Structure 1
Amino acid sequence: MATEDDDPIIQEIDVHLAKSLAEKLYLFQYPVRPATMKYDDVTHLSARIKPKQQKVEVEMAIDTMSPNYCRSKGEQIALNVDGASTDDSGSTYVTKLMDKQVFSSIQSAVNTSRYAVAVYRKGELHITPLHGMLQMRPSFSYLDKADAKHREREAATEAGDSSQDEVEDDVKQVTVRFSRPESEQARQRRIQSYEFLQKKQAEEPWHYLHYCGVKDSRSEHERQYLFSQLAGMVETSELTKSPREYLSMLMPPVEEEELKVPLAPSNVLSMAQLRTLPLADQVRTLMKNVKVVQFANLMGLLGSGVDSTAVLRCIQQVAMLVQGCWVVKSDVLYPKDTCSPHSGVAAEVLCRGRDFVMWKFTQDLCVIRKEVAAVIKLPPEDVKDFLEQMAVSRVNKGWEFLLPQDSKFVKKHPDVVQRQHMLWMGIQAKLEKVYGLSKEDVMPKKHDSQPASSVVLSGERRVAAAKDRVRENHAVLEKDYRRRRALHGVDAQTPSSSLLAIKIKEEPLSEEEPMDTWPGNVAANGIHSEESSRDSMEDHAEAGEQSRLVSAELRDFVQGTLRKHYVLSLSELKRLFNLHLASLPPGHILFSGISDRMLQETVLDCGCKQILVPFPPQATASADEQKIFALWEAGDSYDQHRRVLLEVFSKNYRVRRSVIQSKLCQDVGDNLSKPDVDKVLKDCCASHGGMWYLKGTLPS
């Protein structure tokens, strides 16, 4: 009684269960759109549903008159999807413009028995259970249609070329083969396969719906069903259940729900379902899907609150350490009594070959596919499958390991690294015996992991670079020493014989060894010595300084070039950059390798903008030629004139001089002189056939 007095009842609310919409009520979520940007005012063109799968598709209109809509892109997409045919029957975009988009649903929760929609009215709370929770995401099926159209056009072209020499085919002998009866095990695998599930889902017919807006009278009528129709008519009786029984009714045990989860292949297991499994099964399932992962990323996938020590114990059962990263074991991917899906090779042989590939990556960052195939002697499809699981192909380098070395894990868990190293030594001995490897095959190569474009420096340059690094380190150490002397009350300027003195030993170095391999290679499986760790830190600092110098040099070139030309296509900018490189002395810092992306980012950082010139659909210009960059602000009196000119060309790729002059007079002023117009046109444009084009867009 005392506790009840401390917590008095303020209000009693009657709760009613409404069942009128219990089998029809869905919650739609739009995860790719902010909550402030609703679709209530967007025109809904059509909607359809597959009730058994809870699959919904909604077609919405796109505002083509919006200033944020790129009309040229919309026309290009419509042309790619529907082609140039004038027949509108069967066309996705009748207006020859991408004027609509389709939203397709995926289930955000398999079991919605714990979710309901509640409405409060006149002191009563009405609850309606949810039948489904769906996430609506944009569908890009139109890209598949465009790709199919492209293949059809190519096939028609090839057929047209071959029809000129077409002759009647000879009669060929046909061999008829009868398939073997399907075993029960094979049938179960087929039924649980992703292809079979997709086929079964496609068999369910669509049911087309009529969409009513939020403010529509029909919607208001349907919302009334959220209220219990029997409210006030049925006399409620007192609850006779005990608190434990009542809670059990509200929250059924998890074991009962697990029986409702349908069988499905592992690649469609949701993260919510995954986290209901034991930790060991979670790690095993994740590793079978990702194949290669860093330990920090694996902890992120498992969620917060998971003990890292327990995860370490689990992952060592299903994965091996390679370059500080975890790679799933071969026997997990290829269990006993299975075979290769490509060639039918037994699992035991596949595991041995894949272990050899994994072991090669503990020795080198890159491996050569032909060398691997020559040793393990497996079909090319299986060898490629092994490599694609843990590496990416690099031009002139072979196959490079998929992830960078996880040095943080190596330093944090030296005991695990040592244990894995011992396991690899045992695997290596077994591989030597099976494949008859020689000592040359077992020893790691020093330069295989280096890129083909590595800068080869002479011994003198390498000694000079070493001296510079040592001087920088000495300055840092001396500064730290003086700071500590000052903290202890010693004059920082007082000379002391205990100051660190560093002497550089000038030793001749091989001129053939690339700079990237000195000092020292990384030890097998990510085990570092203290000396190599210090050198690695110095190399990182040097790389950061080099990157800063490269960015500064590249920025100076871009700024100087654009102040001369004002408007350039990406292909022309690359051509001028190559000419600039040819004029530089050997060993210049810009020879370290500049990518197209780095060049474009530097252009945008220099106050330039990309002009979306509406090229005609039949234009033969390459992708680099259609990327046009313009200097938006040069700091002179003609900045406003050039901006007006560039806005004109954002609507058409060729313009007459009279149109340009009238637009300039309208926006800049009537006192615009002919020399001013000539200056702006000369800066940004080129003339051809009585029309003016932006530089770089002139048709060849």
Structure 2
Amino acid sequence: MASEEDDPIIQEIDVYLAKSLADKLYLFQYPVRPASMTYDDVAHLSAKIKPKQQKVELEMTLDTMSPNYCRSKGEQIALNVDGTTSEDSNTYSTKLMDKQTFTSIQATTNTSRYAAAVFRKGELHLTPLQGILQMRPSFSYLDKADSKHREREAANEGGDSSQDEAEEDIKQITVRFSRPESEQARQRRYQSYEFLQKKQNEEPWVHLHYYGLKDGRSEHERQYLFCQCMGVTENTELVKTPSEYLAMLMPPAVKEEVAKPVTPSNVLSMAQLRTLPLGDQVKTLMKNVKVMPFANLMGLLTPGTDSTAVLRCVQQVAMLVQGNWVVKSDVLYPKDTCSPHSGVPAEVLCRGRDFLMWKFTRERCVVRKEVAAIVKLPAEDVKDFLEQMAVPRVNRGWEFLLPSDTDFVRKHPDVAQRQHMLWLGMQAKLEKVFHLSKEDMMPKKKDSAPGVVLVSGEKRLRMAKDRAREGRPALEKDLERQRAVGRDSSGAAVQVKEEPLSDGEEPMDISLTETLKNGAVNGLPHSDDSSRDSLNGHSPSCRPASPSQELRDFVSATFRKHYVLTLSELKRLFNLHLASLPPGHSLFGGISDRLLQDAILHSRCRQIMVPFPPQSSAAADEQKVFAVWETGDSFDKHRQLLFELFMKNYRVRRNVVQSRLNQEFGESVTKADLDKLLKECCISYAGMWYLKGTVQS
């Protein structure tokens, strides 16, 4: 007995997979009804389904003649639902509850393990199930009865409706604008019951025809439960080993990993921080600390870290303000986020915070009301900006958080100069965004940074003469330089350009002389003129007479990228380009508007004389619009025709451009060509197209 098989095979059964109804077969369960009391003999009035949701509704009759049926209750329910009126839309047309509705819910969402089996003549035929649904009675008629009851109560309590309407007419209406939705809020809304219910209601019902169990159509459909391809043999031999087959039937339990608790965002673990790449370490520290001297930043990093690499990383996430590093606004407020206080979008917050940072590069203290009046942001956001980088002082406003770090400026003049050029580009952008006047851009004398001495042109000239009388021949050149110094309206020393300029032409503001007041604040040394000139990489007496090849290359590359630019926008891009150049570069020589415009004309560009609207408040540089006239590609003629249209009107419609192109070039101009042309050279606003730079975005 021990040698015999203890689990003998009693019978072998062939198993077939039937696929005819694989995507149409549903299993209905009636959990509130015993199996002995089926609905096979009950008349089905209607049936409908939502295939995507696998939701089914069946409407069946009730046996009102049954001794178990309470007729008085049935009449009362019908009266509550439909009232006393007789309409086609009534739920119960016989004034008696004579039907009930069954609604399905999914018993399981994964039916891959379930199939319907039919055994016939020693063969087992399996058909996979599309869904398993539990049918339960629906009580939606009670909701309809409640709504009818509320309508009747409202009608009875109507009373003097005219007085109520008059009172409603004088009620104050409060309009509120919804805040921009964050990604987390959007995900929560997608998972909410209201959203899911709305999505379910959007799918239309598919009405079906019900066939009883003994109907001929039902018998015909049941034949599809048997495999229809009995003659086709497939190789279904089991090639798995017993252990592999057992593992397929009963896979081993997967051990769930215990998630480590996440450290709060405002708590830093130095051990974990130092495992990150250097760039992430610097970004994390600056994002949490907000304002930090470079020496403190080096102290928080791993000992022995290369300071040059740290400088390269910190310039990507922070800006230099009074010799200290302040985290950039777009790091604190990433794109597609909003203010936690007011819901203001991140782009608007960044502009307001950049303005405050720029104010601190010019002044030691700022007044909160003055900042709020310009940036026009809610008080909570402005206060949040100030608390990040300043402390309140009695009768002085808000003072910058840290003292000026002159040691860092002295050790790293190249970094300070690059940051200064970036701030010049930021200043031009802020002037355009907030429509600031020259008075708004000037720093207040009383708030100048400590250690910075303001010297007028006359006083500097007198000091130079005194030193010359003392027998210092080495200062002769300095005296000559002082004679070229004038006095502006604010009393600050300004460099006088030796190059003759045409009427109405202004030199580009790329010299560091005008920034004497905030030189040390921005990270620039406040030594004599010769040191500032060497920091700029040029001598005041050396001015290029014609645009250099490098300047032409920059202008040409810029217009190949933007196609249309105003003079003020080109200046801003040029300042950003200068900030990326090494100290002492030849382009740091004074570049006037004349030289810049000459470089534009040498780059196959032309000025487009756009007739600006009379109410336009654009400055002179903003009304000088230049565009690429020739690039050598097939689109040159298209662009030239477009520019000719704008020389007659400052705005055009799309159909006007389309018809003009078709008239000139025939029907070869496609919609894609027109879209490319407009996208390169124009912007759309209020259904009209404008040249880039001629209208505020």
Task: Give the alignment's TM-score, normalised by structure 1.
Answer: 0.35
Task: Give the alignment's TM-score, normalised by structure 2.
Answer: 0.35
Larger Rg: 2
